[in-house]
Amino acid sequence: MALVKQFSKTKSVCKVTFTLPSDVVNNAKKVALVGEFNDWNSTATLLKKQKDGQYKASVELPVGSEFQFRYLLDGENWINDEAADKYVANGFTTDNCVVVL
């Protein structure tokens, strides 16, 4: 799992690339990045399978913000990112990941 941040030199945005290794995805057919930045829409940001088996998606987010997120596998299984900047309770007896920019 990885979060790679690329801050723009000309705009107040950061391109964040979210990566899940194939062993974490565990043969899921659909891997979604779901969070505050896409109104928790499970179809808005799908991760694409790479040649090496990893799944990736990139999102441009405003600098100076924090966003909660999680991954949803096959519309059923929620997982967190071990590389998240921090975690916050979400009211469902688990935590949401947070990316800080």
The answer to whether 20 and 1 are in contact (CB under 8 A) is yes
Spatial distance between the Cα atoms of 90 and 94, rounded to a whole number of angstroms: 6
CATH classification for the domain delimited by 2-100, as one of 3.40.50.620, 2.60.40.1180, 2.60.40.10, 1.10.3210.10 = 2.60.40.10
pLDDT of residue 3: 94
Q: Identify any residues that bridge with 5 across adjacent strands, giving them in sequence order.
A: 16
Domain spans, the chain = 2-100
- Give residue 51's pLDDT: 94
- The pLDDT tens digits along the chain (101 residues) read 789 999 999 999 999 999 999 999 988 999 999 999 999 999 999 999 999 989 999 999 999 999 999 999 999 999 999 999 999 999 888 999 999 99
Q: pTM for the complete prediction?
A: 0.94
